[in-house]
Structure 1
Amino acid sequence: MNNEEIIAHIKLAINPKFQDWVLFKNGTYIIFDDITTVKDVKDEALKLMKEFGPVFAGSSAGDFNTIHLHLTEGWLVSGHGYGMYTYVHPSELDNEIPDDLEIGLYGRSKRNLDGQNPEIIHINSQYSV
């Protein structure tokens, strides 16, 4: 999937009341409650991703929940770190009927990639940033 396709899926996955978010290369995004209070959105998103993105086995960073989406294909994987989610599209998994554990582990691995090498590909805001 290209960046535009990922962005389209995430726009459908996010509650419409949240308009301010930053998307990273591997599908992890961070929602900001009030982006106007953030001095530099890129710096803050990178800081949060470096802090909460990497996965450490046996820590809260390894915990996750799988959220089944209704308005688009795929799932969101949440973990520690407020407002941080990772989008997983069905085409990314080998199993046609994956269970929550498989989806969650895959999403967590994508979040880890974003945490290890954070690269912002999109900033969505209801305000100009």
Structure 2
Amino acid sequence: MNTETLIDTWRRLLADPHKSWVLYEHGTCVVLTAPEGDLAEQATSVLAEFGPVHAGSPAGDFGVVDVQDAEGWVVTGHHDDVLTYVGPEESEDPGQLAVGLLGRSKRHRDGTELRVVHVEDRRTVADPA
């Protein structure tokens, strides 16, 4: 999946105009609920800790969410603000186990490679009065 498609998908999924987020190469997104300073640096610190999978620990856990605003799934992990998108064309098996394992492996790659592809800085979005 190309970067522009991932950015568009996450923009639809994270429609809250006050949530800044950082996207990584394999589709993992870190939502920054209290953004400050360099967003990529802040998100990378979170993903470096909560992205890599460690068997037999909470880092191996995942959940699968069928999303309403895009085709595909969001795979959750042991940090509420670390989410990974899996597109329908990425998994031959649409079952939750197959999708979850794929999303978890994508999160692991992003959590170890840490290659930022997009920063969505919404700190400057004006609050409509």
TM-score (norm 2): 0.89
Q: For 1:57, what is the secondary structure of its paired residue? A: coil
1:17 Cα offset (Å): 4.8
8 Å contact from structure 2 (residues 30, 43) kept in 1? yes
- Map of 1:126 onto structure 2: 122
- Map of 2:29 onto structure 1: 29
Percentage identity across aligned positions?
37
Which of 110, 114, 117 aligns to 2:106? It is 110
Sort the Cα spacing of 1:18 and 1:107 in 2 relative to 1 into closer, same or farther, 3 A: farther
- Map of 1:101 onto structure 2: 97
The residue correspondences of 1:42-121 to structure 2 (distance < 5 A) are 42-95=40-93, 98-121=94-117
Partner amino acid, structure 1, of 2:121: S
1:18 Cα offset (Å): 4.8
TM-score (norm 1): 0.89
Structure 2 CA distance for aligned equivalents of residues 34 and 62 of structure 1: 26
Unaligned runs of 5+ in 1: none
Sort the Cα spacing of 1:26 and 1:59 in 2 relative to 1 into closer, same or farther, 3 A: same
Structure 1 CA distance for aligned equivalents of residues 74 and 47 of structure 2: 16
CA RMSD of aligned residues (A): 1.4
Partner amino acid, structure 2, of 1:107: G
Structure 2 CA distance for aligned equivalents of residues 48 and 99 of structure 1: 28
8 Å contact from structure 2 (residues 18, 122) kept in 1? no
Structure 2 CA distance for aligned equivalents of residues 69 and 120 of structure 1: 23
Partner amino acid, structure 1, of 2:75: V
Structure 1 CA distance for aligned equivalents of residues 19 and 60 of structure 2: 27
Partner amino acid, structure 2, of 1:126: R
1:15 Cα offset (Å): 4.4
Per-residue Cα deviation, 1:96-126 (whole angstroms, up to 9, x for no partner): xx11111111000000000111100000022
